[in-house]
Structure 1
């Protein structure tokens, strides 16, 4: 454990305990209450000094994915409850605090309603992505779970569960708003979506589960402290076409299909996601992963291939070259900004081992080979000249639920 992580862990643990004190008091008085938690201590090493990936570089670090979370579920009546989760994270790229807090109402076994701050339930592991004990990997495939889209929202959802013969069906719809920062490559954007909505269909038959999901973010508005002044300069100079390209307002749509199958000896899963946007600066992105694994008693061995491909329209620079040094400089800056916008073509090959040392403790070891497009960011950050977008990431860690 590095000294930096130790200091951060103690600091956030103290804040968390102080924040949750009212919840503990309420739980003690509630007729039915549950308090649980989870923690993960993850170390990682990237075998290159040419870039960073998920915050890792060529020095062993335990400050990127390590965290501790405490959650409460307080039953107010047989069908009404309040749930909350406080997350204390060691990474500088994530804020610690309340991850979700909502009220749940279940009038019967078929219907469930939630309202408050909720996880956006698109991907299979969206609700439990911080609880590493819940899935085989140390790091879920970055191509889908990188978190650059709208991972949470403030709003409401409704779920209906039923069975048709031997087929179980879950239907869910949600609506709300998102206002938070989105981290993408070396940039951070402030995003605001007033009417985010979507739906999920889960179909279960025996050991097979199929998932279909969607997310729609009409009129999303994104601000960037570096890009906004350039857009204003384009408007003042009369280059409205360039300024429009840099105006990050428009629709973003996401579609997902997934499947998983499990036996006593084998398990497998796959998810495919496509993101479309009317914004010229954003790419049409197609991402997926395929995983297969085998149980050997308390040990799991798994193999995963993940891939992302981005396609963006050609953006023409309307600023004429050669008329003045000022215009030449403005045109150069525009081209640099467009070229720096994240395009993440990356293939990842992952081999991992998980050992359930105890019913509530898992030890994991994972190796990933990263092969990206040398002309794109490919999920790497702090890229140095000459880096070919290829590296190996080694991670090890302990997952704990309590």
Structure 2
């Protein structure tokens, strides 16, 4: 079980890549600095509303800057992804129909052709007795199927050997860069149908607004064995995805309590 909340570390961008990286470390007085840059590609799956779609990304590049001084560590980074190829539920086929009807701007919005940029900043203070972590993440995208997301979390923890107690609050807010629907209604039956179909796609994109409060306890039973228990109170928005998957109950108000128990064994 990871302390970092799901709505902050969600796979809208890419946690791995194939490519190259370079890092440079140096120190000034008591401060340690670490600068890392990377460039690569990704071929795998993209997760959206509980469904996975094959995707290829020809360009992923990023920069990470880390500063540390004793118990304090600060980190900031930027990641940019571009040159995508993916097919989301026949979006390309519908885009071709809209383009043939004379509305290229709306057609292009349905194609997975654009870029997404992620920003991150965090600060961590850790002693033998207690720790505090705060992190902020923002995603900006001109892709219709990738939400613009802003999320953050704050964790406070206390160590009292052999136990660790931690409390985490997190929140996320999402939106989409939806262009104006230029396909007219009430001009012809065909255009009216296309316009309503386009509205149906853009108005039903999954939203990921969620607040959560998590309380956890870790017990180091032995040097290589730990027991963990967590309870998380989740509060999403009605009629939104809110990171829940496979929702079948129409009356589900996106509020839930999640219990987790685990054992971690290092051998």
Per the normalisation by structure 2, the TM-score is 0.91
1:184 alignment partner, one of 28, 48, 69: 48
- Please say if residues 112 and 143 of structure 2, whose CA atoms lie closer than 8 Å, have aligned partners that are also in contact: yes
Q: 1:247 to 1:320 in 2, by over 3 A?
A: same
Distance in 2 of aligned mates of 1:253 and 1:313: 13
Distance in 1 of aligned mates of 2:196 and 2:18: 40
Secondary structure of the 2:85 match is strand
291-300 or 280-289, which deviates more: 280-289
Distance in 2 of aligned mates of 1:227 and 1:166: 54
Secondary structure of the 2:66 match is strand
* Pair 1:394-2:255 in alignment: no
- Please say if residues 257 and 271 of structure 1, whose CA atoms lie closer than 8 Å, have aligned partners that are also in contact: yes
- Render the CA deviation track for 1:261-313: whole Å, top value 9, x for unaligned: 11121111111111112335543211111000111211111100111111334
- Please say if residues 188 and 224 of structure 1, whose CA atoms lie closer than 8 Å, have aligned partners that are also in contact: no
Secondary structure of the 1:143 match is coil
* Pair 1:255-2:124 in alignment: no
Distance in 1 of aligned mates of 2:216 and 2:250: 31
Secondary structure of the 2:8 match is helix
Secondary structure of the 2:17 match is strand
How many residues matched? 266
- Render the CA deviation track for 1:240-279: whole Å, top value 9, x for unaligned: 2321110121121111111111112111111111111233
Distance in 2 of aligned mates of 1:258 and 1:346: 20
- Render the CA deviation track for 1:345-389: whole Å, top value 9, x for unaligned: 111111111111111221111111111122421111223323221
Unaligned runs of 5+ in 2: none
Instruction: Find the counterpart in structure 1 of residue 109 from structure 2.
Output: 245
Secondary structure of the 1:340 match is coil
Distance in 1 of aligned mates of 2:122 and 2:47: 25
- Please say if residues 252 and 277 of structure 1, whose CA atoms lie closer than 8 Å, have aligned partners that are also in contact: yes
1:385 alignment partner, one of 238, 250, 264: 250
Matches within 5 A, 1:9-20: none
Aligned-pair distance for 1:325?
Answer: 5.1
Q: Which has the higher helix share?
A: 1
- Render the CA deviation track for 1:44-73: whole Å, top value 9, x for unaligned: xxxxxxxxxxxxxxxxxxxxxxxxxxxxxx
Instruction: Find the counterpart in structure 1 of residue 17 from structure 2.
Output: 153
Distance in 1 of aligned mates of 2:92 and 2:41: 23
Matches within 5 A, 1:216-255: 216-255=80-119
- Please say if residues 121 and 136 of structure 2, whose CA atoms lie closer than 8 Å, have aligned partners that are also in contact: yes
Distance in 1 of aligned mates of 2:18 and 2:68: 29
Aligned-pair distance for 1:333?
Answer: 2.9
Aligned-pair distance for 1:231?
Answer: 1.8
Distance in 2 of aligned mates of 1:166 and 1:360: 33
- Render the CA deviation track for 1:16-67: whole Å, top value 9, x for unaligned: xxxxxxxxxxxxxxxxxxxxxxxxxxxxxxxxxxxxxxxxxxxxxxxxxxxx
2:235 alignment partner, one of 371, 388, 402: 371
Per the normalisation by structure 1, the TM-score is 0.62
Instruction: Find the counterpart in structure 2 of residue 297 from structure 1.
Output: 161
* Pair 1:165-2:29 in alignment: yes
Instruction: Find the counterpart in structure 2 of residue 57 from structure 1.
Output: none
